[in-house]
Amino acid sequence: MKTIKLALLGFILSFSLFATAQVNVNVNIGTPPVWGPVGYAEARYYYIPDIESYYDINSGMFVYMGPRGWIHARTLPSRYSHFDLYNGYKVVLNFRGDNPYRYYKMHKAKFPKGYKNHKQKPFKMKNDNGNHSGHYKKGNAKSGNAIHFNDNSHGGKKGNDGGGKGHGNGKGNGKGK
């Protein structure tokens, strides 16, 4: 009996010596970069007016215009090597979708190169009812720099692209205000 126990113990120990678990958990997935604005945990994108580019926080990739369309890359191209990510202005976009550059013309017009407004108010799309579970509302910390965009477009003039009639009373005086 003693030899069986010793053999079993030796068998278990031999496996434990060779079994080295390699667990690699990247805790930085979806975490804002160190050069990003502080206090916007819910944000997914930054628009960087000085280089007319975006940064996707979830993927950790920059999105910028290339010769044949939008390019997704981990680093900025050499033409932006002069730009200081730490001190350059970043507009926080609370955009719910995968392609914020769909609104590039609007972003470029609203936030031109050199744009620096430290007290900007949250931008609200035309048919947005403001029902966002408390995110970026009055009284919520750090809400002054967030720009809110919904990507609820269903093609054509529907959703939050300003072409629909909405379902409100038409005067903007809904209940609870």
Residue 126 has pLDDT above 90, yes or no: no
What percentage of the chain has pLDDT greater than the value 90?
20
* E strand segments, 12-113: 45-48, 53-56, 61-66, 69-73, 91-96
3-state helix, strand, coil split of the chain in percent (to 5) is: 20, 15, 65
Residue 62 has pLDDT above 90, yes or no: yes
pLDDT score of 15: 63
Q: What average pLDDT does range 145-155 have in this prediction?
A: 44
Q: What average pLDDT does range 55-83 have in this prediction?
A: 93
Band (159; pLDDT cuts 50, 70, 90): very low
pLDDT score of 152: 41
pLDDT score of 41: 77
Q: What average pLDDT does range 136-159 have in this prediction?
A: 41
pLDDT score of 173: 52
Contact call for residues 122 and 147 (beta carbons, < 8 A): yes
Residue 162 has pLDDT above 80, yes or no: no
| Helix spans in the chain (H) | 2-18, 104-110
β-pair type (69-73, 61-66): antiparallel
Which is more confidently placed, 132 or 165? 165
pLDDT score of 12: 74
Q: What average pLDDT does range 71-92 have in this prediction?
A: 91
The neighbour count for residue 101, using CB atoms within 10 Å, is 19
Query: What pTM, to 2 d.p., does this model score?
Result: 0.53
Q: What is the mean pLDDT of the chain?
A: 69
d(C-alpha 63, C-alpha 11), whole Å? 54
